[in-house]
A and B are shown apart, each in its own frame.
Chain A
């Protein structure tokens, strides 16, 4: 579904990521893990068209999307939940969700998806008239996930959705994501929370200093001695 081939990108003259290769098959949940500053966000911004790569190809659903504008890529069904939630703080919960239904695909299924999202997060239904910035961090993250679902994603990229949440909320969030995947949604998980993301994903890539240093089945990576020592603290 998504194929990132030999992508290099960066800011100005500084190359942050080099020769990255990543593949996500339909229906899969793939994790991309790495520490702060490893290049995860740079890679994701390149995939969603915000950043222009210096070389390489990105193929989504059989089409090269290099050079496409971000809104164009969103309309193709490659949706990103941006890091730090990025809600429309002064709008209500429901308004935020409805803002998601702007893509052609999202518009078509607006009412159905809204109901689906409220089923997924009953909490949001209770608070649909509340101004979104007054909600708790976990609830705000639910809005961000819901808003992305309103766009009817084919591939959902979750950028650090556990960031700044209480441990119990993190567990909930990962359960939800895992559930979405079981329903057939393809997901690319970008995470610092290595342990949890390895636990729920099928395959994983480990990124360090802008390069993929390891990839394979999440189960194998979990047991890799280097990963154990460097990321899991075992």
Chain B
């Protein structure tokens, strides 16, 4: 037991040191590497948010790009049409995503649509949103929306160097970690787990499964909505095909599942391993279109076969066995 805490403290200290090094190193790193780091933490953030619903409460959403898209469009439209700062947009995006998430949850959970059927409904929501955003000139239709550069200014959430974006998304990621941990320890977290483990049993001991599934959905959709706004600010161009993208939803799930579903650091592990891999593959073998998706597929099959609980859990178990001398 004492060995265990010692080991945990060591790991914790290492994590803090790594964090500090990372935060300082970003200032000196070349911008293409900072870009990859931003991607890593963006995906880690979104996957963690997905994991609250998909990993922790066990409701497999295949449509989380919906909330990225909604967030991106909300803040961008507020900025372009009404001149409202993205900082407020960030929050409003979260709220709108929450409302849409609540509507989706209401439709599904009220009539007991779960599992595969829930997954299908979430996919349909993404498809509908894409066609809606394609259909109106007001939302930029197929041309998409472009956020003009207005100078390096924190109130516009626009910077001329990448590292500022890194700090923003990094802070967001730390925030979501704290929140995730709080949820894990809370009564609601316990209920989420009960619902994932056995919904019938959860119902039989008096848990309002509808209420807690809704709660997980709205927390998750709010958080992803906020990330969508950040994303739009960072890439400064959004269109229906890249935002309401089914593959984007799959990637979000992929990082969480590969890293470790229902764990604190699983999504980060997944994103930290596979975002650089995918970026690398794209630059090195860019001529072979879709090679990164092919490699993803193969890796996913291997992980599910050999580490069904994800890389994070697999490594943790090995470490535990090692310290017990087995």
- Interface set of A (CB-CB < 8 Å, partner B): 48, 50, 69-71, 74-75, 79-82, 86-91, 99-100, 102-103, 147-148, 151
Contacts and interface: CB of A to CB of B under 8 A. Distances in A.
B200 A71 contact: no
B201 interface: yes
B321 interface: no
Contacts of A74: 204-206
A86 B198 contact: yes
Contacts of A90: 197
Contact of B204 (A69, A86, A89): A86
Nearest to B201: A86
Nearest to A77: B206
B184 to A, nearest CB: 14
A91 B203 contact: no
Contacts of B203: 50, 70-71
A69 B208 contact: yes
25 contacts: A48-B204, A70-B204, A70-B206, A71-B207, A71-B208, A74-B206, A75-B206, A80-B204, A86-B198, A86-B204, A87-B198, A87-B201, A88-B194, A88-B198, A89-B198, A91-B193, A99-B201, A99-B205, A102-B206, A102-B207, A103-B205, A103-B206, A148-B204, A151-B205, A151-B206
A53 to B, nearest CB: 17
Nearest to A100: B205
A99 B204 contact: no
A88 B201 contact: yes
A164 to B, nearest CB: 16
A151 B206 CA distance: 9
Contacts of B197: 88-91
Contacts of B190: 99
Interface in B198-243: 198, 200-201, 203-210
Contacts of A147: 205
Nearest to A69: B208
Given A88-B194, A99-B194, A82 B201 contact: yes
A99 B210 CA distance: 17
A79 B207 CA distance: 12
Contacts of A89: 197-198
Contacts of A81: 204
Given A74-B206, A102-B205, A86 B194 contact: no
A147 B201 CA distance: 10
A80 B194 CA distance: 17
Nearest to B197: A88
Contact of A86 (B191, B200, B206, B208): B200
Contacts of A70: 203-204, 206
Max chain A CB contacts within 10 Å: which of B193, B197, B208, B210? Answer: B197
The 5 closest A-B CB pairs, nearest first, are: A74-B206, A86-B201, A88-B197, A71-B208, A82-B204
A100 B203 CA distance: 11
Nearest to B206: A74
Max chain B CB contacts within 10 Å: which of A48, A71, A89? Answer: A71
A65 B206 CA distance: 15
Given A86-B204, A102-B207, 4 more contacts: A71-B209, A88-B198, A89-B198, A99-B194
Max chain A CB contacts within 10 Å: which of B193, B197, B206, B210? Answer: B206
B207 to A, nearest CB: 6
A88 B194 CA distance: 7
